[in-house]
Amino acid sequence: MTIHAVVEAHGLTKRFGTFTAVDRVDLHVAEGEVLALLGPNGAGKTTTVRCLAAILRPTAGQARIAGHDTVAEAQTVRHLVGLLTEFPGLYQRMRPPEYLAFFGQLHEMQASHIRQRSEQLMRQFGLWDARDHRMGEFSKGMQQKMALIRAMIHDPHVLFLDEPTSAMDPQSAKQVRDAIAALRREGRTILLCTHNLAEAETLADRIAIIRRGKIVALGTPAELKHRLLGDPLTEVRLTQSIDGFLSRVTDLVEIVDHGETWFRYRAARAQEVNPRIVRRLTEAGHEVVAIGELEQHLETVYLRIVEEERAGNE
């Protein structure tokens, strides 16, 4: 089965004078895929998104959304995408229904559809009871949710979300993450810019790490972890001292670390090796308290990639 790219970038470049914000970026995001774009402040994430959403015109290269060129068919692209910017930029004196009606009309929606969609989304995000208040009275979290509703009002084919849970309390952030997960299950294509690495790992199919305008790593969370960290560590905890035991398993695994009643090892095929380790422990009279893989954190991968790339440019 052929998987078609909904978001494409080929050599995408954006310069501001002599400063290159986006440097020959290549991206392919498939139908129904969630791609997280990670990078430090000033790395080029927001500029990349604005070029893809036909807000900025690239200096060089090409981008397409669902087959439509972001320069030659910019207006079509703007109808196909929903964009949540890092800063909500709401019209503070307006009330939610008139605000959403304004943006719905920009997307050529029927008035009845705008009302239906507005109520549906405002109820989903817990804002329906605040519909008669001016948005200037809203908390930062409420304003962020309104900005997300604005991005979703026309039921876009592609969503670009720049820090969607920024400034939100834990409950509101969970509502947004649940909404993104639901959109993912529906097969919506999403490009997510975030500094929340746990959020990226939970929501994204693949992760692209960008630094100085360039994509320096791209893959699934599991692929990036394996590439940078190798096979995961397995930890075994016992009821008594491991003295004299480790030498019996060095033919099976690489012992990485150990203490009085525990040890850690790395194995390429842990599912095959672990039973053999337990069997040798049992035969030696040891009682196993616990055995399991230690979690590999995306944060470790991200920091290592950024540090290695920085070192390579010094």
Residue identified by tokens 């997510």 is 192
Helix/strand/coil for 106 = helix
- pLDDT by residue (tens digit) across 251-303? 888 888 998 899 998 877 878 888 998 888 888 888 888 988 888 888 888 88
Residue identified by tokens 């940078």 is 228
Q: What is the C-alpha to C-alpha distance for residues 180 and 265, in angstroms, rounded to an integer?
A: 37
| pLDDT score, position 195 | 85
The domain defined by 5-226 folds into Rossmann fold (3.40.50)
- pLDDT by residue (tens digit) across 101-158? 999 999 999 999 999 999 999 998 889 999 999 999 998 888 888 999 999 999 999 9
- pLDDT by residue (tens digit) across 15-74? 999 999 999 999 999 999 999 999 888 889 999 999 999 999 999 999 999 999 999 999
- pLDDT by residue (tens digit) across 296-307? 888 888 888 877
| pLDDT score, position 2 | 42
Neighbour tally for 261: CB within 10 Å: 15
Residue 309: pLDDT band (50, 70, 90) is low
Question: Which ranges of the chain would DSSP assign to H, the alpha helix?
Answer: 45-52, 74-80, 96-106, 111-124, 140-152, 170-185, 197-203, 221-229, 270-283, 298-312
DSSP state of 32: T
Q: What would the CATH number be for the domain defined by 233-293?
A: 3.30.70
3-42 core/surface letters (b: 16 or more CB in 10 A; e: else): eebbbbbeebbbeeeeebbbbebebbbeebbbbbbbbeee
Domain ranges of the chain: 5-226, 233-293
pTM over 0.75: yes
- pLDDT by residue (tens digit) across 201-250? 889 999 999 988 999 999 999 899 888 888 888 999 988 888 777 877 87
| pLDDT score, position 1 | 36
| pLDDT score, position 301 | 87
